[in-house]
Amino acid sequence: GAVVSQHPSRVICKSGTSVKIECRSLDFQATTMFWYRQFPKKSLMLMATSNEGSKATYEQGVEKDKFLINHASLTLSTLTVTSAHPEDSSFYICSAPRADLAAFSYEQYFGPGTRLTVT
Amino acid sequence: AQTVTQSQPEMSVQEAETVTLSCTYDTSESDYYLFWYKQPPSRQMILVIRQEAYKQQNATENRFSVNFQKAAKSFSLKISDSQLGDAAMYFCAYRRREYGNKLVFGAGTILRVKS
């Protein structure tokens, strides 16, 4: 089945540094990918929609300059948390839609998530 | 804007019993999908069941079934013969049909299964 990977699964960084999280669709191409943030026992909060070949679309309240998104190819999107601070510590999840031709639709496949801890 | 509401923060069920998780949504669209996702302690999101809005028949996947009431904008999930492995956080979600549309999630319901 379709698989979406994320790397790294866990990362610890010092306050003020930047960290990059990769999201890859392993056996399908995705012109759009989504990035979510999730706090413990809370829902997924959409941060931005990553678009291959164009700028990402950010949700209201999400700082574009802090959360840089680059959709470099049809299988790779990256989220860079710049000048990270402890309040950026969270669980970040990406997803990518894959076409389901039989259903004339598509389904979202989720990565396993990345736990970011900023000390 | 579309919204999804889950009014049960936590639910408990005895093993082998049946439990129903509630979800309501609001949209002005007529063509959309509704989903239930499971997030176990591993935090990997798993699709449980999908319902297409234009289909009147309620979706069923083994022990999981939905009660889709389009006019009432209600979409509940019934889990029959509950198993310990069903313990997780469950999210109701909405999406418009077209490619590239985002999922709108509810707040989630933590399901505990007692042995």
Q: Which of A5, A23, A117 is nearest to A78 (CA)?
A: A23
Instruction: Test A97 with B106 for CB contact under 8 angstroms.
Output: no
Residues of B with CB below 8 A from A32's CB? Answer: 99-100
Instruction: Test A113 with B43 for CB contact under 8 angstroms.
Output: yes
Instruction: Test A108 with B99 for CB contact under 8 angstroms.
Output: no
Residues of B with CB below 8 A from A108's CB? Answer: 47, 95, 103
Q: Is A101 helix (H, G, I), strand (E, B) or coil?
A: helix
pLDDT at res. A101: 72
Torsion of CA B113, B91, A106, A75, to 10 degrees: -100
User: To the nearest whole percent, how much of chain A has pLDDT over 70?
Assistant: 97
Average pLDDT over residues A91-113: 88
Look at strands A57-58 and A44-51 and give their pairing: antiparallel
Cβ-based contacts under 8 A for chains A and B:
48
- Indicate whether A72 pLDDT > 90: no
Q: How confident is the model at residue A77 (pLDDT cuts 50, 70, 90)?
A: very high
Residue B6 Cα, gap to closest chain A Cα (Å) = 11
- Indicate whether B78 pLDDT > 90: yes
- Indicate whether A104 pLDDT > 90: no
Q: Is A36 helix (H, G, I), strand (E, B) or coil?
A: strand
Residues of A with CB below 8 A from B89's CB? Answer: 41
Q: How confident is the model at residue B2 (pLDDT cuts 50, 70, 90)?
A: confident
Q: Whole-angstrom Cα distance, residue A90 to residue A27?
A: 28
- pLDDT tens readout for residues A10-66: 999 999 999 999 999 999 999 999 999 999 999 999 999 999 989 999 999 999 999
On average, the pLDDT of chain A sits at 94
| Under 8 Å between Cβ of A69 and A78 | yes
On average, the pLDDT of chain B sits at 95
- Indicate whether A2 pLDDT > 70: no
- Indicate whether B19 pLDDT > 70: yes
- Indicate whether A1 pLDDT > 70: no
